Every structure is written in structure tokens, then in C-alpha cells.
Amino acid sequence: MQIYVCIKHVPDSAANITIRDNNDQNNHGQDNNEGDKYGIGENIAFLLNPFDEHAVTEAAALKKEYKESEIIAVCFGKKDAEKTIRSAMAMGADRGILILTDRGHDSITTARALKAAIEQDGNPDIIFTGKESIDAEGMQTMFRLGALFDFPVVTNAVSVKAVTGHGGPDDTPGKVGPGRAIVEYDLGGGKTRTCDLGLPCVIAAGRGLNTPAYPTFPDVVKARKKPVHLLDFTDLTFDQPLGSAFTVGLEPLVQKRSPKEIKGSPEEIAVTLVTILKNEAKVIS
Amino acid sequence: MKKIGIIIEAENGQIKETNYGVITLAQQDDAQVYAFILTGVDDEINEGVKENLAAWGVHGIVEMGFQAHVMENPMVQAKNLVAAVKKMDIHTILGLSSAWGKDIIPRMAALLDAPLVMDCMDVDLKNNVARTTQYSGKAIASIQVRGEFVLFGIRPNAVQPLPCPSEPEYLPFTVDNAMPDNFKVLSRDYGGQSGADDQGINLPEAEIIIAGGRGMKNKENFSVLFDCAEKMNAAVGASRVAVDLGWIPYAHQVGQTGEKVSPLVYIACGISGSIQHFAGMKTAKMIIAVNSEENTAIVANSDYYVIGDLMEIIPELTKQL
């Protein structure tokens, strides 16, 4: 199998972000009105998007079963994003593709570029992504990728099993490449749905899919030697999208809370809490 | 007049209350609001549903009557919804950014090749600018969308619903029940092994959430939160630590890698308040912290706090409710 994992280079969630006005930087190129007007200062730690860790881990688990498989991590970003590809390689990806671009793109364009890069490279059997990125939180690129390729898509997957054949008694994991994937996905509140997807397909990993293991030191060393192919975003050819989304404002989410202590015996505290829930929050009657 | 389509989320023949805020949002621009309801072809949508949609203000109701086996297939549903909005010449589509919505709305956006903003806190429908959180809840972005079609997934509870009586017309739509051969739904699990409980309240849609963290100390103590939640019709949440320690299933996790919630009240019990946890509950209207330590992020960012033993305070609260 050729397993592609689309990964994202995102700011560490623990870092303090600063907001940057891009207005001066976007006045070049073909779409000078369509770029994000605001972004964040990039002088902070960036890492592999947490949901993508689940995606890479699942790809590596599938490779254990289907040993002939190859895992290719595909990432967007500046040269610096190679670090994130190395992280994915330390977790099991065999090689990487970095699509070089100096600015962010909306999911409509991102999906087109990912498709172009993957098609140039090979024939995907499964494309993994995370269910969302922790920076843009868009939750849609996997569906766009699926629609462009005309592959079925599942998001928030909690279990993936690749099986051979196309529905019959011989459909057990085997030596031949699989023809289908049985995927269970989360519908919220612990409810799930199980689907039978014909390959090729797109699967977006959820938090419940697996437990990513921290790479060992030898894994990290090995990852340094694995190849990363650089592609320039502007060299990829795809249909110009008709729609777009771009950031026109970005402001810090500040908390304006003034904490008030509730004191007293547990009983007095409980009485006060009930009063607050009833009269101030109006959530109970 | 501008037409706006709303994908209504129903469960067991009932409309989820969180839809009403979306209807209110759609009315801002004097638009014609059309509600799309997905039902089984043999089910009559019950009168209560129609009355509710009329009470909150829709101008048209489009009933999508699917064959029973299609009701579980989001791919067929999205395809038909796209055909229906196109047929009705609707170019602005709203829905809930709930777990169900996250499986339907982006599918529609992908089929339409149209821009979408999920998890919107608010939308200016005149200018097509949506406000949503980004960067783990540390910033609010205003995102402008352009295109022939535009879609917005609205965060449950983000918009306060306002009644607006109307007399909706009924519009028929004949769905295509054809199933794709590369996407079959095998089964559905309503909980159990994957860790749901009978609680029946979805975290993102709950008005009150009572959540536990490391300070809960063990799995058994969570029953105190469940008891209290039951009394006030709340959902039970948890921090990542509590989930990782196996005290409660991950379906309950609130935070950056769990559910993002905006309840009216968030009661944090024994949760210190990491950045990642705040990423999931920062937009709660009121935060009440119950903690043994005063010097914690959760206390500093709360509206009310109690310093004490939660195992004494929460059962007492349950008793008083």
C-alpha cells in the first residue's frame, strides 16, 4: 500500500502567540486581495499537529500488517516545516514531501495543492489526516481532498482495519494488499458508526484512534537520514478555485473575569452555588 | 430577498434545541429562512417539530425523506442536501458545528467546492464574515468567505435563540437514495464499549458542564460528578489527565484535543487549568472552580471559586439542588 499522511506544522499550543499584521506582506503575487490579512508571529515553537500524530501512528500500525507498504508524510510550509516532517518520520513515515510556500492558504487551495503533490508522487491507497489542526481549526481539508480525488472520507476515526477483497468470505487481513477499510468513527458522546470504505479512501484521525508513542532516540537518528522531497507550491498545477476564505481580523481572546471567592461551610457554599446557578446563570429553576 | 438554508439536526424525531439559535442568526438580514429536515421516508415529521420551527421563525420547510437504510449514510445525505439547495437557488447554508454537523456540513462544502467556516461564534451574513476561535482558543479570527456558495457551521449555544412566529410553507424534495459502492455503513454503536454512558447529553450542547481533573483522585470519585450532573441536567467533562489515567472515557474530554464547549456554566472540579484545557472551555459564559489550591490558573480565570475539598462540596451541592 502507499499510505500518504497529510501533516501540519502548527504552533505549540503552550506558546504565547503574538498577532501580526500581514497587510504589507501580501501585496505581491497573483491574489493580493485574497491573502490572510493577519497571522501570528512565527518566532515560537512549532510542532506536528497533535491529531496528525494519531494519523502517522495508525499508518505505522497498518504497515506492520502490510509490510510492503510505504508511508509518505506530506506537509506545507516554509523550510522550517521540515522539522515536523522529521518528527513524522521518527514516528514511522518512510519519506517526506514538503510543499514550500511562504504563506498560509485556505483549505480549498490546500486540498488542491495536496492532491497535485500526491498525484505527482504516486498512487495513494489510503490518505490519512488529523481531524483538525489546532491552529486554524477548520475541520474540512479531508473532505475537500476526498471530493477532489473522488475518494470516500471519514473523519474523527477511532478504529481502522484494512481488509482484503471487496466483501466476501475471504475478507481477512492477508498478505495481498487490502481492498477495503473498516473504519469506526466518533459521532460525539461516545456514539460511533462503523463504515466499510472501498480503497482508496481518506481517513481523518481522532483522538481515540490510538496512543502515539514518543519516538526513541534511534528512531530520531534514523529519521534524519530519510529523504525529504522539496516541491515549490507555485510549481504545482491545479484548477483555480472559485471560492476562498481569508482572515480579515485576528485578536487575542482575552478573559475579563474577576474571580470572587465563595466561603463558608460546605453546606453554605452549596447554598450559594445553587443561588448563583438559579439567579445569575439562570440554568436551573 | 436573500435565501438562507439551515440544515436542521434532529434526533429521535425531535429537533435539537441548539438549532433554534441558528434560526435566529439566519434572520438577521431579513432573509427567507428555509429549514432542511432529514427524515425517514415513512416517518411523518411530527407536528411538534413543525410547530417548533414555526415558533422560532422559518419561512419554508424542506422535508428530505430518505429510505431508512440511507439515514445513516452521511455521503448520500450530503449529496442530496447539495442537490436540494441548488434546486432552491439557496447560496448561503448554515448548520450546527456539532459532531453530526462536522460530518455533514464539510461534506457539503467539499461537494460544492465552496468556502466554509466551522465552529462560528457569530456570523455577519451581510458581509459573509464569521468569527471563530483559532490557535487553541487563544485568538478570535474574523474570516471572510467569497464564492457562489458559502457555508457556516455554528457552535451550539453560541447564539441566544429569539422566538419569531412564522407560517412556514412546505416544499417537497425527492431524494435520490442511491448508495455509493465505496461507502457503506455497517453498524452504529450508541455507546458502551467506546465509553459513552446513558447520560444522553452531548458535551458541546450542554448548558451546564461539571468537569473533573487530577483532583478527582480516582475513577470512583467521578460518580460524585455524575450524581450532581443528573440533578441539574448537566454533562460531565474531564481534563486530559483524568482521561489518560483511565478514570473516565475520552468521550468526556474537554480541551484542545477533546471537545470544545461553550456552556452557560462550567464547573471545574480539581482541574488546575492548563492552556490546553482552557482551549476547550474558555468561551464558557460562567466558570466556577472548585479546587484545593488557590494558586491555580483555573481559579485566576474563574468567575467564582471555592477553595476546599470537592468530595465534600459537590455531594452537598447535589443535596441542595
Give the closest of B133, B251, B289 to A137, CB-based: B133
Is B88 exposed, middle or buried, given 0-12, 13-18 or 19+ CB atoms closer than 10 A?
middle
Q: What is the pLDDT of residue B306?
A: 97
Give yes or no for residue A123 having a pLDDT over 70: yes
Alpha carbon distances (Å) from B19 to B78, B108, B166: 18, 18, 16
State the smallest CA–CA distance between residue A4 and chain B in angstroms. 19
**Three cell numbers at A217?**
532516540
* Cross-chain residue pair B118–A249, CB shorter than 8 Å: no
How high is the pLDDT of residue A32? 43
Per-residue pLDDT of chain B (321 residues; tens, 9 = 90+): 899 999 999 877 788 889 999 999 999 878 999 999 988 776 666 777 888 899 999 999 999 988 888 888 999 999 999 999 999 999 999 999 998 999 999 999 999 999 999 999 999 999 999 999 999 888 999 999 999 999 999 998 889 899 999 999 999 899 999 999 999 999 887 654 434 445 555 788 889 999 999 999 999 999 999 999 999 999 999 999 999 999 998 889 999 888 888 899 999 999 999 999 999 999 899 999 999 999 999 999 999 999 999 999 999 999 999
- What residues in A contact B103, CB-CB < 8 Å? 155-156, 185, 187
Instruction: Give the per-residue pLDDT at A149.
Output: 98
Which residues in chain A are closer than 8 Å to B151, comparing Cβ atoms? none
What average pLDDT does chain A have?
90
Q: Say what the pLDDT of residue B59 is.
A: 94
For the segment A235-260, the average pLDDT, to the nearest whole number, is: 92
Residues counted in chain B: 321
pLDDT value, residue B307 = 97
At residue A31 the predicted structure's pLDDT band, cuts being 50, 70 and 90, is: very low
DSSP-H helix ranges across A66-140 = 82-90, 107-121
**Residue B146 pLDDT:** 96
- C-alpha B40/C-alpha B68 separation (Å) is 5
Per the CB < 8 A criterion, the answer to whether B33 and B2 are in contact is no
> Which runs of E-coded beta strand occur in A63-207?
70-77, 95-100, 126-130, 153-163, 180-186, 192-198, 201-205
pLDDT, tens digit, 9 for 90 and up, residues A4-26: 999 999 999 888 889 988 775 55
In a mutational test of the B interface, the residue from A12, A54, A114, A207 whose CB has the highest number of chain B CBs within 10 Å is A207
The Cα-based distances of B227 to A212, A278, B231, B259 in angstroms read: 33, 18, 7, 21
Closest by Cα among B284, B276, B277, B275 to B302: B284
Question: pLDDT tens digits for A64-77?
Answer: 999 999 999 999 99
Per-residue model confidence (pLDDT) at position A167: 52
Is the minimum CB–CB distance between B135 and chain A shorter than 8 Å? yes
User: How many CB atoms neighbour CB A226 within 10 A?
Assistant: 16
pLDDT of residue B70: 85
Q: Which helix or strand (DSSP H or E) is residue A14 part of?
A: none
> Is B269 within 8 Å of B210 (Cβ atoms)?
yes
Write out residues 274-293 of B within 8 Å (CB-CB) of A. Answer: 275-276, 279, 282-283, 285-289
Kindly determine whether residue B142 and residue A17, on different chains, have CB atoms separated by under 8 Å: no
Q: Which residue is it, cell 488542491?
A: A112
> What's the confidence (pLDDT) of residue B152?
98
Question: Cell for A145?
Answer: 481532498
Residues of chain B with Cβ-Cβ distance to A134 below 8 Å are 135-136, 256-257, 279
Q: In 3D, which of A204, A243, A216 has the Cα closest to residue A49? A: A204
Least confident interval from A94-103, A169-178, B310-319: A169-178
- Of the residues A156, A166, A253, the best mutation for testing chain B's interface (the one with the most B CB atoms within 10 Å of its CB) is A253
Render pLDDT for A202-231 as a digit per residue (tens, 0 to 9): 999 998 899 998 899 999 999 999 999 999
The reported pLDDT for the residue numbered A174 is 47
**B115 burial level (CB within 10 Å; 0-12, 13-18, 19+):** buried
How close B188 comes to chain A (CA, Å)?
Answer: 4
3-class DSSP assignment, residue B303? coil
Q: Which residue has the cell 455503513?
A: B185
> How big is the A-B interface in CB pairs under 8 Å?
282
pLDDT at B173: 92
Interior/surface letters A10-33, b for 16+ CB within 10 angstroms, e for the rest: bbebebebebeebeeebeeeeeee
Task: Please state, in angstroms and rounded to a whole number, the distance separating the CA atoms of residues A222 and A210.
Answer: 23
* Residue B1: closest CA among B36, B42, B33, B48: B33
A108, A185, A259 ranked by CB distance to B302: nearest: A259
List of chain A residues whose C-beta atoms are within 8 Å of the C-beta of residue B183 = 152, 195-198
Report how far residue B183's alpha carbon sits from residue A147's, in angstroms, rounded to the nearest whole number: 13
> Do B185 and A183 form a contact (C-beta atoms < 8 A)?
no
Query: Residue B232 and residue A147: Cβ atoms within 8 Å?
Result: no
Q: Which pLDDT tens digit goes with each residue over A265-275?
A: 999 999 999 99
Of the candidates A88, A98, A161, the one whose C-alpha atom is nearest the C-alpha of residue A130 is A88
Give the list of residues 6+ apart from residue A119 with CB closer than 8 angstroms, or none. Answer: none
Phi/psi for A35 (5° steps) reads -75, 165
CA separation for the pair A230, A227 (Å, rounded): 10
Q: Which of residues 48-77 of B touch A (CB under 8 A)?
A: 72, 75
Q: Which residues pair with B63 in a beta bridge?
A: B37, B172
Whole-angstrom CA distances from B107 to A242, B6, B50, B58, B126 are 17, 15, 26, 24, 24
Q: Tell which wins on pLDDT, A39 or A182.
A: A182
pLDDT of residue B199: 52
ipTM at complex level: 0.91
A165 has pLDDT over 80: no
**Among B69, B7, B4, which residue's Cα sits nearest to residue B36?**
B7
- Provide, rounded to the nearest whole percent, the portion of chain A with pLDDT above 70: 91
